[in-house]
Amino acid sequence: RGLCTQVTSFLDQEALGKRLTVLSGAGFDGIAFVGVPRTMKDGEGEGVAPTDALSIYEELVPNRGAILIPTRDGEQGRFNFKCEQGATYGMTQLLYSDTIVEFLTEFAKTTDHRPEILLSFGFVPKMETKVGLINWLIQDSGNPAVAAEQEFVTDLAQREPADKRRLMVDLYKRVIDGVADLGFPLSVHFEAAYGVSKPAFETFAEMLAYWAPDR
């Protein structure tokens, strides 16, 4: 069984409902609703807005996810609204800093919402120096917090596997230690954006040896 993301902005309510029925029948336990690609503006697309989908399909999809980007300006209010609309879990953007700790600490103080938080971590291979996929994925022009994450990604890409693993595991530890006692159910998402590799899975294994959701 699994989780998936579903773009909602290009399907009307009936068509999206049929799509979600098919996905649920195929064994997806949770579906995160996402909006238009970043080449378009929020609100474009004639379909269902992701925030509306969270409430419209409450009976059809029991586990409804929302994307959480802790470095994005105004994200506290944005994520709170998604929770009020019915989000049962939040899947973070790939994390390359411990900004999520401060974000969830503040969120726990100011709201009663306690959705499950799916913490996302991505391995950075040397190929990133040529392709820049991860740098593109996390970009946010003019945002100093994201600029710092991009610098970290650039640094990781150039390092040898042992150094890379040490730095990613250290980040993982800081994030887990910082959010573990805030009252949110936690799970983890590991991504090898450039494909399967031994260094990636060695890194993920060391992360899980430190903390895993089933322990």
Instruction: Give the model confidence (pLDDT) of 9-19 as tens digits.
Output: 999 999 999 99
Per-residue pLDDT, 120:
98
Tokens for 67, please give them.
Answer: 């994307």
Kindly state the percentage of the chain with pLDDT values over 90: 91
Determine the Cα–Cα distance for residues 53 and 17; give it in Å rounded to an integer.
9
Amino acid at 80: N
Beta-carbon contacts of residue 28 (< 8 Å; ≥ 6 apart): 1, 2, 3, 4
Instruction: Give the model confidence (pLDDT) of 114-133 as tens digits.
Output: 999 999 999 999 999 999 99
Determine the Cα–Cα distance for residues 204 and 165; give it in Å rounded to an integer.
9
- ∠ CA 142-40-115, nearest 5°, is 75
* pTM: predicted TM-score of the whole model, two decimal places: 0.92
**DSSP state string for 27-48:** TEEEEEEE---TTS-TT-SSS-
Per-residue pLDDT, 61:
96
Give residue 39's pLDDT band: very low, low, confident or very high (50, 70, 90). Answer: low
Bridge partners, 122 (sequence order): 191
